[in-house]
């Protein structure tokens, strides 16, 4: 009889065999952390150490939680609560609020910015949408770091750009008042209210701790103070906790994430087991050499390794200006596509959303379709929703042909053509979405029915399990976290972009370094790095991170660095 441990390497097996906490798994990029924690839970269930209904696995996105559930199902484990912090807190709040307060739980604010606009009007403030978004971010940071408005004001004596501290405080107080009058909670209140209920109501604390005995927290470097407090309340005086994370991938400090909870975990417990996962299964050794050099000597940094022989060293290229850089990167992507590389295995990463515009234009000029991460989710696209409705309608009628042929006919009736429209427009985006649905049908197991297929699509939508579009991916470094591609082009490695111009303190620069590290470690096979000497009328310098990496792990690319290398249009 096989065991969930059989598929793991020695270090992963060590972590998965540690069934009683506290356990700290320091897992570098590409080292199989999700595999490790799911096999650990499965091993605990197989051996009888865990009852699935007593296990909670916590992560930070609905997509990651859905992946955990899917992997556990594949291992034969059902019933584990794999949720985000917010989903778990909201479920508990909705369950216990009627018992404690005698009425239904408050509703959730659907738009913090809209409510802030109404609150601003109540006190005579006229603020634009950008300022309202900034205020919303400040409220979120204040709450996840568990600060009162008064403490926040002391920490932010100058307010924010465009709004002094006095009206900023008054606006926040008015926002809270309006929200309370409407009996509503915002996203962050859910965590605070759940923590407050467990802390103040012994029967709630007893029920929660009776329900969940074993906790696993993924991406522990991204835990905020309020999330950590809620976790402490879930645990009570028990230590049956497994945390998994990588301090080098902390890139959400601006939103309240505090890597100290991971870095200091070993100091909090006398009997903690610490396992380091440093064998990388994703990236070429040459890519790892760049990543290791960038993070050398940083707190909590892991030394990633792979037994494979390294391929060519990543190339660094300096371009004359932003337009030349966009053209140069697009030329490299075009060359990869001509060589037979699948578009979905290529990504271009950058620091700011604004960097995507010239790149999209350069790719479209070469007939290359691209998708920008961070836009509308695949399952929320109108073309996909329309396809799902049409397929569900077709499923009630008897099939006149094969399953895949029926799906193709339905999608053709909605606008799917044999030939893709030109790249760079809404028609191509819609075509790619419908084509992705057709590929799912063509890849479905033999014997799949149309009704079963639509049920599967609905399940994938709920867990945000999106299919891969056959397009080149463009993404900010924040959006790319947790993903991987065979070929990565990391652009904009100049002072003022990476690190960003407003990063001035040591801690802020260190966060920018970790962002660069995240970008580098997304690459599996090849990595190219680039920067522009000028942006508009501003001269830029090579990023300090390139200086830190040095020349021993990268090669300089000069042939593409001049304006003469740009294609004529």
**pLDDT tens digits, 233-248:** 999 999 999 999 999 9
Task: Mark the binding-site residues, compressed into ranges.
Answer: 27-34
Residues 376-396, mean pLDDT to the nearest whole number: 82
Residues of the chain with pLDDT > 90, as a percent, come to 57
Task: Give the pLDDT band (50/70/90) at residue 453.
Answer: confident
Q: How far is CA 52 from the centre of its chain?
A: 26
Residue of 351, 332, 375, 290 whose CA lies nearest to 535 = 351
pLDDT digits (tens, 9 = 90+) for 293-339: 999 988 889 999 998 778 888 999 999 999 899 999 999 999 999 99
Residue of 522, 116, 289, 540 whose CA lies nearest to 530 = 540
Strand ranges (DSSP E) for 363-522?
Answer: 370-372, 472-476, 485-490
For residue 383, the model assigns a pLDDT of: 84
Query: Three-class SS of residue 408?
Result: helix
- How large is the angle between the packed helices 356-365 and 322-338, nearest 10 degrees? 50
Residue carrying structure tokens 């408005």: 149
- Please, which residues have CB within 8 angstroms of residue 375's CB and are 6 or more apart in sequence? none
**pLDDT at 549 exceeding the cut of 80:** yes
Answering whether pTM is above 0.75, one says yes
Task: Give the pLDDT band (50/70/90) at residue 560.
Answer: very low
Residues 468-475, mean pLDDT to the nearest whole number: 86
For residue 556, the model assigns a pLDDT of: 84
Residues 103-121, mean pLDDT to the nearest whole number: 91
Radius of gyration of the chain (CA): 25
For residue 405, the model assigns a pLDDT of: 85
Residue of 45, 5, 8 whose CA lies nearest to 277 = 8
Backbone conformation region of residue 524, classed left if phi is above 0, alpha if psi is from -120 to 50, else beta: alpha
CA distance 560 to 138: 43
- How large is the angle between the packed helices 187-200 and 225-235, nearest 10 degrees? 30
For residue 7, the model assigns a pLDDT of: 87
CA distance 416 to 432: 9
Task: Give the pLDDT band (50/70/90) at residue 566.
Answer: very low
Burial of 492 (0-12, 13-18, 19+ CB in 10 A): buried
- Identify the DSSP state of 555: E
Task: Give the pLDDT band (50/70/90) at residue 568.
Answer: very low
The mean predicted confidence, pLDDT, of the chain is 89
Is the backbone peptide bond immediately before 393 cis, with ω within 30 degrees of 0? no
Q: How far is CA 231 from the centre of its chain?
A: 21
Task: Mark the binding-site residues for ATP, compressed into ranges.
Answer: 27-34
Using an 8 Å Cβ cutoff, are 42 and 75 in contact?
yes
Task: Give the pLDDT band (50/70/90) at residue 490.
Answer: very high
Using an 8 Å Cβ cutoff, are 303 and 517 in contact?
no
CA distance 292 to 520: 10
- Identify the DSSP state of 501: T
Pairing label, strands 55-59, 81-84: parallel
**pLDDT at 565 exceeding the cut of 70:** no
CA distance 421 to 430: 10
**pLDDT at 561 exceeding the cut of 50:** no
- CB crowding 10-30: b at 16 or more within 10 Å, else e: ebbbbbbbbbebbbbbbbbbb
Backbone conformation region of residue 525, classed left if phi is above 0, alpha if psi is from -120 to 50, else beta: alpha
- Identify the DSSP state of 351: S
For residue 558, the model assigns a pLDDT of: 62
Phi, psi of 399 (to 5 degrees): -70, 135
Residues 109-115, mean pLDDT to the nearest whole number: 92
**pLDDT at 1 exceeding the cut of 80:** no
For residue 112, the model assigns a pLDDT of: 92
For residue 291, the model assigns a pLDDT of: 94
CA distance 14 to 11: 5
CA distance 44 to 36: 12
**pLDDT at 400 exceeding the cut of 80:** no
Pairing label, strands 485-490, 523-535: parallel
Tell me how many helices (H) and strands (E) the chain has: 23, 16
């Amino acid at each position: 009889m096989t065991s969930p441990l059989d598929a793991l390497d020695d270090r992963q097996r060590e972590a998965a065999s540690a069934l009683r906490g506290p356990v700290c798994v320091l897992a570098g990029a590409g080292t199989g952390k999700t595999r490790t924690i799911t096999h650990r839970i499965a091993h605990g269930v197989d051996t009888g150490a865990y009852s699935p209904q007593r296990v909670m696995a916590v992560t930070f996105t609905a997509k990651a939680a859905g992946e955990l559930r899917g992997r556990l199902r594949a291992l034969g484990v059902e019933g584990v609560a794999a949720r985000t912090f917010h989903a778990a807190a909201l479920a508990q709040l909705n369950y216990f609020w009627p018992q404690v307060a005698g009425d239904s739980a408050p509703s959730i604010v659907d738009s913090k910015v809209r409510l802030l606009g109404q609150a601003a009007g109540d006190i005579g403030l006229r603020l634009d949408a950008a300022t309202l978004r900034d205020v919303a971010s400040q409220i979120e940071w204040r709450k996840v770091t568990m600060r009162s408005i008064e403490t926040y004001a002391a920490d932010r004596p100058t307010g924010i750009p465009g709004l002094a501290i006095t009206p900023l405080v008054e606006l926040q107080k008015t926002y809270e008042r309006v929200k309370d009058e409407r009996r509503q909670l915002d996203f962050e209140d859910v965590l605070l209210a759940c923590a407050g209920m467990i802390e103040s109501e012994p029967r709630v604390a007893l029920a929660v701790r009776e329900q969940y005995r074993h906790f696993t927290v993924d991406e522990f470097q991204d835990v905020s103070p309020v999330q950590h407090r809620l976790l402490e309340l879930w645990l009570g005086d028990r230590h049956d906790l497994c945390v998994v994370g990588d301090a080098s991938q902390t890139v959400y400090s601006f939103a309240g994430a505090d890597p100290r909870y991971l870095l200091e975990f070993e100091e909090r417990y006398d009997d903690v087991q610490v396992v380091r996962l440093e064998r990388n299964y994703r990236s070429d050794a040459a890519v790892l050499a760049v990543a290791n050099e960038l993070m050398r000597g940083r707190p909590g940094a892991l030394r990633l390794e792979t037994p494979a022989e390294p391929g060519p060293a990543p190339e660094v290229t300096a371009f004359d200006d932003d337009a030349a850089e966009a053209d140069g990167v697009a030329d490299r992507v075009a060359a990869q596509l001509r060589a037979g590389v699948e578009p979905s295995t290529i990504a271009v990463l950058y620091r700011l959303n604004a960097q995507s515009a010239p790149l999209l234009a350069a790719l479209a000029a070469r007939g290359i379709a691209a998708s920008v991460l961070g836009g509308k989710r695949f399952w929320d696209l109108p073309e996909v929703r329309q396809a799902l409705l049409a397929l569900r309608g077709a499923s009630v009628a008897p099939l006149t042909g094969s399953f895949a042929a029926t799906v193709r006919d339905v999608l053709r009736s909605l606008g799917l053509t044999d030939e893709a429209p030109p790249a760079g427009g809404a028609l191509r985006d819609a075509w790619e979405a419908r084509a992705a649905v057709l590929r799912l049908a063509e890849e479905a197991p033999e014997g799949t029915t149309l009704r079963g297929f639509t049920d599967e699509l609905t399940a994938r939508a709920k867990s945000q399990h999106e299919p891969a579009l056959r397009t080149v991916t463009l993404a900010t470094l924040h959006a790319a976290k947790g993903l991987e591609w065979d070929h990565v082009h990391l652009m904009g490695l100049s002072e003022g972009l990476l690190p960003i111009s407003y990063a001035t303190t040591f801690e802020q620069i260190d966060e920018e370094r970790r962002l660069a590290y995240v970008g580098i470690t997304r690459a599996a096979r090849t990595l190219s790095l680039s920067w522009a000497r000028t942006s508009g009328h501003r001269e830029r310098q090579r990023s300090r991170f390139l200086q830190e990496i040095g020349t021993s792990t990268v090669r300089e690319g000069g042939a593409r660095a001049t304006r003469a290398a740009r294609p004529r249009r």
